[in-house]
Amino acid sequence: MLDIFHTIVSIEPPFNMVVLLVLIGSVAGVLTGIATQFRKYGCHRQDIDFKRELVDRGLSAEEIERIIKVRAPESVKDE
């Protein structure tokens, strides 16, 4: 990793900054994408656990549908 950094820094001055900026931007984009996917997975997991809890309580399908419809606008805002 250190060798790659030294290779980039040893490129002629105006071009090494361009390469570094592109590299930093790419890494930031990838990390942002990974964080977004973790957040979506967490929200999905929470939603599944909530539905499972409603089923475990013994609620009827109509009651569960009604509760989920009431809760739906909240989950749409998060996405």
- Tens of pLDDT, residue by residue over 30-49, are 999 999 999 999 999 999 99
Q: What's the total number of domains in the chain?
A: 1
Lowest mean pLDDT, pick from 9-13, 38-42, 53-57: 9-13
Rounded alpha-carbon distances, angstroms, from residue 18 to 12, 15, 25, 32: 10, 5, 11, 21
pTM: 0.66
| SS3 call for 60 | coil
Structure tokens at 26: 């790419």
pLDDT at position 76 over 80: no
Is residue 77 pLDDT above 80, yes or no?
A: no
> Cα angle vertex 78, ends 72, 79, to 5°?
95
Q: What is the pLDDT of residue 9?
A: 82
Split at pLDDT 50, 70, 90, the class of 65 is: very high
- The boundaries of the domain holding residue 42 are 2-78
